[in-house]
Structure 1
């Protein structure tokens, strides 16, 4: 009878049960202990609800390990692959057998330790829970160990990597720290896995969680990307400030409107610090980054109180951005109230919240007397205030100040910011005799060549682990200029001012800048080269070009140029260009495998140039500069040292990609003396076709070198004529002028806005020429 009671028969709804079945169901059932595997899966389901929860536990473990850099790789929203790599102190080889057993931890020894816990993880359940619902691999190397150790886990126990092998950890090559790889999450819980609607939604949650810790964890560099993507979803350097981290993750719009918040009370035992948005910024939903004792948590009470405080300062429907870090005496906090540690309880909660809100209210009331609102177009018949309407848009820009005497709204024109790229540019205001204005609808002269075709390749993304490249990226980040980076991140393109000197005008806020876009491009393409290292696109040549002929072309040009500069007096000291070409060709052919693997510069064994790197989709470098670029690879690249080799090669590649100077227009009395060379070179390279991947985010790279190569672009078409007679401009130059103007405006500057991290050395290439507020002060005195 007991066995019959233990079996539950599935009865369709509406089926009548017999009397004996009713009597049987009323009897108490026997209590039995669940199988240990079921217990572990239930516990895992409470702690690891989604991939983002597994990632949160792994991030906290990495920070607890003293890491200064954490790299995260995600595939299919974390369900297929979730990999986190840190450079912390690692795990001892002797601790690996019990690493994934439940309640094994190095943080606690007694129950009383919970009252003073100061670390993220402490219960020893994260890795154990993950190992019961996923395939877990741990690779770790302590500082004192001579090699790394790799271990595979399933169900909390060590398992062999392949059937028939030993389950013991295996020695392997690896760097200091720990790499945890979680594959096929919820593979044995199909109901849970089917509950996730889309991988993109889970990836968005992961980016949100990584972004929270990236803002808070000062001194820790974070990178997060999808598997197979070259662009980084999140990338923050270790030495970035909190405001810079907010700017990189949440945008310059909120970073420019932040107020620092600090409050402390010894009686209540807490200290609050953070950054909150002022009355000029608001969004549709409250963005609250809350950390209590450095743990990311949620608190509906704090969120509601903050929203109520801001309701008196923001328009209806507007919500703030708040980053708040609370340090509370650990004896006043209970951290063990939620399985995922998402919530905590602490004493004097109402008093602490009240003090924080009072501090926010005081800061908002004293920071500014005017605010900026974005409003929708009013309905017909409504009372229309004075507004600055953007053309062809349903949103109006309204800058409001309050006149205390009359109570009326007043528009301050010196606060208006041009925010629509469709507005008239400076180029369109010049007469046709100087330059031909380009519009986005023009497709004849400014379009890219018809034979230029882009194809997606199946090449798998290569994860760069070279120490030399990482050091170069770190040097770049150390030279970042935050204010200038913000100017480029929020700028609006005004127009090209001088094509020969490569000067353009941009607007940042209410200021106008003239910039040397040649200098900016040099640094930008160097950064792209570092980011895309080993994953560059390719520009293929069909038919291939002869490397020797290209080097001879460049050598002949250099020989003529040096002869003109030096004269006949130093003719005996002339370079033997035949030997120089042979030596450069020999060096390039010797390194051709490395050039193809790292830089997509492919050269056949018989010296045929098959492809060169593609750094930015939609942008075509001047092929007239290709011979000189190849010739300079011999003397300027340090082939003996790995780090210097990569740095010097990328600098030369960036110089090759810099937009060439264009000769003055024929109407100004100039002629192009190098048009023949450009024409012949362009004819040789006219059959080029491009194939490559999309361009990448530069969030994980910063500025590297303050200096810029000051040498002139020898193969540029930047030459002045010798006569005053007007001559018709060659059609090749006219076509290139239209094409280059289009690429600079529609490709290059949008790339600067999205990805450029400005260096301190670029300050000498940016000049402020006008400040609207300052001009209004001058006019008021006149």
Structure 2
């Protein structure tokens, strides 16, 4: 007994005890044997067909390869009991049916070198073979030249009789042109795999996702999917439907209404990309990415992360987009054979291709001036105006079900933009009309717009990317969410540039001058190199503008000592020389055009519908001299864009002169400009803040102040 205990103590801790029989077996080298072909085939099938959805994906790809224009999918018990797909493609010749389900039998691949030019979905000839080893497979097919259809049954890759004692040869039967493949009792001989599936509804949802993806991508092909025994289809698309209509049918109208089309290509990297993506008005909690590379549905973590990073600038924290992307790459640059289910592919220059696509998507999203339309929703979905309710109540019987609980007033949120605003309570002389211009009135900014055919420029400057990252790092998440979901209440003080907005059940006072400064700076970084332009006809004399600004600066801020004194002409010559010397860079990056003779031809256009004050133009030009660091690239871009943003901030208007003021012209000018600014703030600036402003932490220091909380006010009233 003591000796046995000694043996136990000497064994290392954690060592698994061996059975007595194992200890007695002589440890001789085991001989290598070839696995049984049936075992090999079942292992291969387990790698390719992991779930019913994988079997369906392979069958859909085979049907589309066969030139089908209609695919019908029927599912029972999530595809485990029945998975049937019917197409109207070319069909299969009767002579090919005996080897249809044998491994590596295909009409698309003859030599290994053909992998470099594969243009079809399937090519290895493993799908049907794998399915036949783990399910009961039946194929009914008819070609155009055949008088009848043929029906064949398969098991473990070979033809088998439909019933014992019958012949295994395909039997003639009635049928239409095309192929119907029926998969029954999937994983019947792999019980551990079959028990791993939790619910039929979960598997059916996965099948709907795959059918929906291919229905969106495959133009000219009608798709339908339903459960066995049910008359209605879960998915049904027409063969002539457009991509947007297919997305609307499958993913709802909320997505389809916010879609913008994008394209990207580069001959150097041999790719073309096109697709549809949602704009900044739409966001959900999880990214929906329909990615097709050479028309094959795949997944790419790198592409997904890059797209989410692109949208982080435009969407509030936690918001994600919907995007459908079809990427076509030269077959010689793609390795499609890196994954058993072809779920992933590898291609050359992956980082460069992804960067180019994301840059083009970013340009589309940032191009508010040419491709974005701001729409306001006056009522929440399902709500009706009071007059509509009163008129409808006379004709529509009221439901007799359980009445809905009355909402507490301290949780009510203002949602109707037609309700009375703060501006309607202020004196009429201090506010401009907020009504929309009539059909015969001129544009509020009084400008005519021309569209340029210049191609968008992709910014690859690391300094600009660093400046963009600094903005994202300084983001205040809660304040960004408030601006992204706010309701504009009205302008409170034009002279101090204060406006009120509602976020949830809270009321905020916003210094829109400070917010505009930050917004236009971010806009400058986002649209860097792709600005519109405000052109002057006739051109303006730069020196004359600088002279006006310098004289005004000197007269209003007299120098306190000799060192602060400056000569007007000296300053004019110095600043004008700087602008003329750097005119090529200013034109390329900022659409700021100065001629060699010193004429100002254009300045950047940042936001269509809003025109900065031309009275501020001389001071803006003057500040470009001492307040822009022309020596360092990053500081140059940052300081120039800061000055440009400051110029675009709406000016502080003086108090309205009295009615007996002799300068009636000045009174009228101030009134007109006040109307222009009020309309721009409500109709252009705050909708732009809602769409794409990243609220920084600096705005919390005086830029936005909470002045009321509905729940807090109710507590005060309750105490009273």
- TM-score of the superposition, structure 1-length normalised? 0.48
Residue matched to 1:440: 399
8 Å CA contact retained: 1:71, 1:85: yes
Cα distance change, pair 442–336 in 1 and its aligned pair in 2 (3 A): closer
Secondary structure in structure 1 of the residue aligned to 2:159: strand
Residue matched to 2:321: 320
Cα distance change, pair 29–425 in 1 and its aligned pair in 2 (3 A): farther
Residue matched to 2:175: 174
Deviations 1:320-343 (A, max 9, x none): 011000110000000000000000
Give the Å deviation of 1:426.
4.6
| CA distance in structure 2 between the aligned counterparts of 1:351 and 1:437, rounded to whole angstroms | 60
Matches within 5 A, 1:553-632: none
Give the Å deviation of 1:133.
0.2
| CA distance in structure 2 between the aligned counterparts of 1:83 and 1:49, rounded to whole angstroms | 17
Residue matched to 2:91: 90
Give the Å deviation of 1:443.
9.4
8 Å CA contact retained: 1:428, 1:438: no
Give the Å deviation of 1:417.
3.3
| CA distance in structure 1 between the aligned counterparts of 2:30 and 2:20, rounded to whole angstroms | 18
Residue matched to 2:64: 63
Cα distance change, pair 357–439 in 1 and its aligned pair in 2 (3 A): same
Secondary structure in structure 1 of the residue aligned to 2:137: strand
Cα distance change, pair 27–265 in 1 and its aligned pair in 2 (3 A): same
Structure 1's unaligned 5+ residue stretches are 1-12, 373-400, 402-413, 445-509, 511-775
Secondary structure in structure 2 of the residue aligned to 1:88: coil
| CA distance in structure 2 between the aligned counterparts of 1:424 and 1:193, rounded to whole angstroms | 54
Deviations 1:377-421 (A, max 9, x none): xxxxxxxxxxxxxxxxxxxxxxxx9xxxxxxxxxxxx82332243
Residue matched to 2:117: 116
Secondary structure in structure 2 of the residue aligned to 1:232: coil
| CA distance in structure 2 between the aligned counterparts of 1:83 and 1:149, rounded to whole angstroms | 17
Deviations 1:9-63 (A, max 9, x none): xxxx998436773474754322211111111000000000000000000000000
8 Å CA contact retained: 1:254, 1:281: yes
8 Å CA contact retained: 1:150, 1:169: yes
Matches within 5 A, 1:682-701: none
| CA distance in structure 1 between the aligned counterparts of 2:138 and 2:301, rounded to whole angstroms | 37
Residue matched to 2:245: 244
- TM-score of the superposition, structure 2-length normalised? 0.52
| CA distance in structure 2 between the aligned counterparts of 1:87 and 1:105, rounded to whole angstroms | 20
Does residue 1:130 correspond to 2:131, yes or no?
Answer: yes
Residue matched to 2:649: none
8 Å CA contact retained: 1:337, 1:343: yes
| CA distance in structure 1 between the aligned counterparts of 2:223 and 2:365, rounded to whole angstroms | 32
Matches within 5 A, 1:68-87: 68-87=69-88
Residue matched to 2:166: 165
Does residue 1:418 correspond to 2:379, yes or no?
Answer: yes
Matches within 5 A, 1:6-405: 16-17=17-18, 21-22=22-23, 24=25, 26-367=27-368
Secondary structure in structure 2 of the residue aligned to 1:322: strand
Give the Å deviation of 1:429.
1.7
| CA distance in structure 1 between the aligned counterparts of 2:120 and 2:20, rounded to whole angstroms | 59
State the Cα RMSD in Å.
2.9
| CA distance in structure 2 between the aligned counterparts of 1:292 and 1:215, rounded to whole angstroms | 14
Matches within 5 A, 1:498-577: none
| CA distance in structure 1 between the aligned counterparts of 2:401 and 2:336, rounded to whole angstroms | 62
| CA distance in structure 2 between the aligned counterparts of 1:273 and 1:220, rounded to whole angstroms | 19
| CA distance in structure 2 between the aligned counterparts of 1:136 and 1:100, rounded to whole angstroms | 9
| CA distance in structure 1 between the aligned counterparts of 2:42 and 2:355, rounded to whole angstroms | 42
Deviations 1:585-638 (A, max 9, x none): xxxxxxxxxxxxxxxxxxxxxxxxxxxxxxxxxxxxxxxxxxxxxxxxxxxxxx
- Within the candidate set 422, 429, 435, 2:390 is matched to 429
Residue matched to 2:664: none
| CA distance in structure 2 between the aligned counterparts of 1:247 and 1:53, rounded to whole angstroms | 25
Mean alpha-carbon deviation: is it higher for 28-37 or for 219-228? 28-37
Cα distance change, pair 146–256 in 1 and its aligned pair in 2 (3 A): same
| CA distance in structure 1 between the aligned counterparts of 2:77 and 2:297, rounded to whole angstroms | 24
| CA distance in structure 2 between the aligned counterparts of 1:311 and 1:254, rounded to whole angstroms | 18
Deviations 1:346-390 (A, max 9, x none): 000000000001001111111369999xxxxxxxxxxxxxxxxxx
Secondary structure in structure 2 of the residue aligned to 1:33: coil
| CA distance in structure 2 between the aligned counterparts of 1:147 and 1:18, rounded to whole angstroms | 64
Secondary structure in structure 2 of the residue aligned to 1:415: coil
Matches within 5 A, 1:725-764: none
Cα distance change, pair 48–429 in 1 and its aligned pair in 2 (3 A): same
| CA distance in structure 1 between the aligned counterparts of 2:26 and 2:335, rounded to whole angstroms | 43
| CA distance in structure 2 between the aligned counterparts of 1:118 and 1:283, rounded to whole angstroms | 34
Give the Å deviation of 1:427.
5.8
8 Å CA contact retained: 1:65, 1:88: yes
Give the Å deviation of 1:264.
1.1
Cα distance change, pair 271–443 in 1 and its aligned pair in 2 (3 A): closer
8 Å CA contact retained: 1:428, 1:437: no
Secondary structure in structure 2 of the residue aligned to 1:326: strand
Q: Which runs of 4+ in 1 moved over 6 A?
A: 368-372
| CA distance in structure 2 between the aligned counterparts of 1:19 and 1:185, rounded to whole angstroms | 41
Cα distance change, pair 101–214 in 1 and its aligned pair in 2 (3 A): same
Secondary structure in structure 2 of the residue aligned to 1:106: coil
| CA distance in structure 1 between the aligned counterparts of 2:148 and 2:33, rounded to whole angstroms | 47
| CA distance in structure 1 between the aligned counterparts of 2:186 and 2:114, rounded to whole angstroms | 32
8 Å CA contact retained: 2:364, 2:371: no
